[in-house]
């Protein structure tokens, strides 16, 4: 078997400047200590590795030094052996230092991770007034500890995987044994083992790789930055994924009902929560259908509008040069542009852009008779309805379908809109997340239970 050597480790990293090579003498033998600057703590290396090596290791042959280094002469809490340079490299990039002993078949790795990492902070996009305020960070071990603090059951399982040929991203599969279907966990394990991408650096990469090639805009995993939501999912039997470098947790399988569930629902009483959910579902349909309905009504079905409303719309559109369909599609596109611009600008400038774009340009466009106030209100209302959805990914999917339905409504009226809606229903019915139907909560006659939140019961009944 090829021996692990300092030269092999050095060659793997090709002279990168952050790989530090430190010659060490212990027990009268010359050894080499490797670590990566920035990932490790210099103080810990000096205090808990170098000092014990110099002071505690008794002189002797190299095999004796190896035995002492592994069996307690060094104070590091975690000491592991590796036998190849690749394994040593894997440990190095994960915050270990590697002690290479010339002529020995194995090297010893000590965990000396740096303590420099972001502390858990309140969630940025899933805010609630009441409830837990801790959100995931970019460090997988911090995240698992946060989950463990919420779920102290010994049945909570974490299984490590490494994904990404270049990024070597640590991905942790989480589930609650006895609560999660073992077949689901096995399916996810196989999926994670079969992944060999170059890298895993973004939430979309996790979702698309884990769920496989998909032809839908709808999310197949639920992404949450809230640890309590993540744990709630685990309690409900979902599988969790935490990837190093991503301040989010991923839950699967997911359904439309689960995506409409907001952390706020669990922060308020079940009656208020149920009312909010009904409002949210109304917003879902309004955000999806309102522009299409307006286009269909204004072009094809004027007789369906109340007379006063129709007269108001006719009056407001008198001098507008654009056809209704183009007007609505243009306003929806402008809304998307504003949203995109706001995302990519610093917060202070983003607010200014929103004010200038939304208020000044919007008002000017209406005054100049480029668009009608009715169309502007419809586009804005649809946009606001989209913002009420708790899942950003679901909201994005709705935005895509909103355009399609508006197009059909403006070209073919209510019939086109109905055909589009049916196509959406067929599409959603065919979607599966880890083998579970996307519309599962609404499949039974008691589908209303997916919309309303059930009260907590003393017996610890499952929450919807």
Partner 1 sequence: MRRTNGWLFAAAALLLAAVLPARGTETASLQPAQVLLITEENGRVTARCDSGASGVGDDLERALFNMERTANGTLFLGTVEYVILGPGAYELLPQAALSARLRPAARVCCALGTPDDLEALPDFFTAHRTRATLAQEKAALLGEQPVAVPILAVGGERMELISGLDG
Residue 339 corresponds to which tokens in the numbers above?
Answer: 């949203």
Please give the Cα distance from 450 to 357 (Å, whole number): 38
Residues 227 and 135 sit within 8 Å (Cβ to Cβ)? yes
Q: How many CA atoms lie within 13 A of 254 on its CB side?
A: 24
Residues 254 and 240 sit within 8 Å (Cβ to Cβ)? no
Residues 136 and 249 sit within 8 Å (Cβ to Cβ)? yes
CB of 336 vs partner 1, minimal distance in Å: 24
Please give the Cα distance from 128 to 47 (Å, whole number): 44
CB of 448 vs partner 1, minimal distance in Å: 31
Residue among 27 and 409 whose Cβ is closer to partner 1: 409
Kindly tell me the number of DSSP H helices and DSSP E strands found in the chain: 18, 12
Residue among 180 and 316 whose Cβ is closer to partner 1: 316
Cis peptide bond prior to 253, omega within 30° of 0 = yes
Please give the Cα distance from 43 to 330 (Å, whole number): 60
CB of 197 vs partner 1, minimal distance in Å: 24
Residue among 308 and 344 whose Cβ is closer to partner 1: 308
Residues 150 and 228 sit within 8 Å (Cβ to Cβ)? yes
CB of 313 vs partner 1, minimal distance in Å: 6
Neighbours of 355 (CB within 10 A): 11
Please give the Cα distance from 40 to 66 (Å, whole number): 22
CB of 259 vs partner 1, minimal distance in Å: 25
Residue among 64 and 418 whose Cβ is closer to partner 1: 418
CB of 420 vs partner 1, minimal distance in Å: 10
CB of 463 vs partner 1, minimal distance in Å: 37
Residue among 413 and 449 whose Cβ is closer to partner 1: 413
Residues 140 and 243 sit within 8 Å (Cβ to Cβ)? yes
Residue among 313 and 332 whose Cβ is closer to partner 1: 313
First to last CA, the chain: 57
Strand partners, 82: 107
CB of 335 vs partner 1, minimal distance in Å: 21
Please give the Cα distance from 137 to 142 (Å, whole number): 7
CB of 358 vs partner 1, minimal distance in Å: 24
Residue among 271 and 311 whose Cβ is closer to partner 1: 311
Residues 443 and 196 sit within 8 Å (Cβ to Cβ)? no
Q: Which residues bind partner 1 (CB under 8 A)?
A: 298-300, 302-303, 307, 310-311, 313-314, 317-320, 323-324, 410-413, 415-416, 419, 423
Residue among 136 and 300 whose Cβ is closer to partner 1: 300
Residue among 25 and 302 whose Cβ is closer to partner 1: 302
Please give the Cα distance from 259 to 238 (Å, whole number): 13
């Amino acid at each position: 078997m090829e021996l692990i050597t300092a030269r092999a480790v050095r060659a793997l990293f090709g002279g990168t400047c952050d790989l530090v090579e430190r010659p060490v003498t212990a027990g009268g033998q010359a050894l080499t200590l490797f670590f990566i600057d920035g990932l490790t703590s210099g103080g810990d290396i000096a205090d808990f590795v170098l000092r014990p090596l110099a002071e505690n290791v008794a002189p002797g042959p190299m095999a004796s030094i190896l035995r002492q280094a592994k069996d307690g002469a060094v104070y590091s809490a975690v000491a592991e052996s590796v036998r190849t340079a690749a394994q040593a490299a894997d440990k190095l990039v994960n915050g270990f230092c590697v002690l290479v002993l010339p002529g020995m078949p194995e090297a010893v790795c000590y965990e000396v991770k740096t303590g420099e990492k972001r502390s858990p902070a309140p969630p940025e996009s899933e805010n609630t007034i009441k409830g837990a305020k801790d959100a995931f960070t970019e460090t997988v071990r911090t995240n698992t500890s946060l989950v463990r603090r919420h779920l102290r059951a010994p049945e909570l399982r974490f299984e490590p995987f490494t994904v990404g040929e270049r990024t070597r991203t640590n991905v942790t599969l989480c589930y609650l044994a006895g609560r999660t279907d073992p077949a689901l966990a096995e399916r996810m394990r196989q999926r994670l083992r079969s992944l060999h991408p170059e890298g895993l650096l973004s939430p979309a990469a996790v979702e698309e790789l884990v769920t496989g090639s998909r032809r839908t805009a709808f999310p197949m995993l639920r992404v949450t930055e809230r640890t309590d939501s993540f744990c709630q999912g685990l309690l409900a039997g979902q599988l969790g994924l935490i990837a190093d470098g991503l301040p989010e947790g991923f839950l699967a399988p997911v359904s439309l009902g689960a995506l409409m569930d907001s952390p706020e629902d669990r922060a308020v009483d079940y009656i208020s929560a149920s009312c909010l959910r009904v409002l949210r579902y109304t917003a879902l349909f309004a955000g999806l259908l309102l522009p299409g309905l307006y286009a269909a009504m204004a072009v094809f079905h004027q007789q369906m509008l109340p007379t006063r409303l129709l007269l108001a719309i006719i009056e407001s559109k008198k001098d507008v040069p654009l056809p209704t369909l183009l007007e609505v599609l243009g306003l929806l596109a402008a809304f998307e542009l504003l949203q995109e611009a706001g995302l990519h600008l610093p917060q202070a400038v983003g607010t200014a852009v929103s004010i200038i774009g939304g208020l000044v340009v919007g008002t000017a466009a209406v005054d100049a008779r480029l668009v009608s106030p009715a169309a502007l209100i419809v586009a804005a209302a649809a946009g606001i309805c989209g913002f009420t959805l708790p899942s950003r990914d679901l909201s994005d999917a709705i935005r895509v379908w909103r355009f399609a339905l508006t197009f059909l409504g403006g070209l073919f009226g209510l019939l086109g809109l109905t055909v589009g809606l049916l196509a959406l229903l067929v599409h959603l019915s065919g979607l599966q997340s880890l083998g579970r139907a996307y519309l599962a909560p609404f499949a039974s006659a008691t589908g209303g239970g997916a919309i309303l939140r059930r009260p907590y019961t003393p017996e610890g009944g499952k929450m919807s």
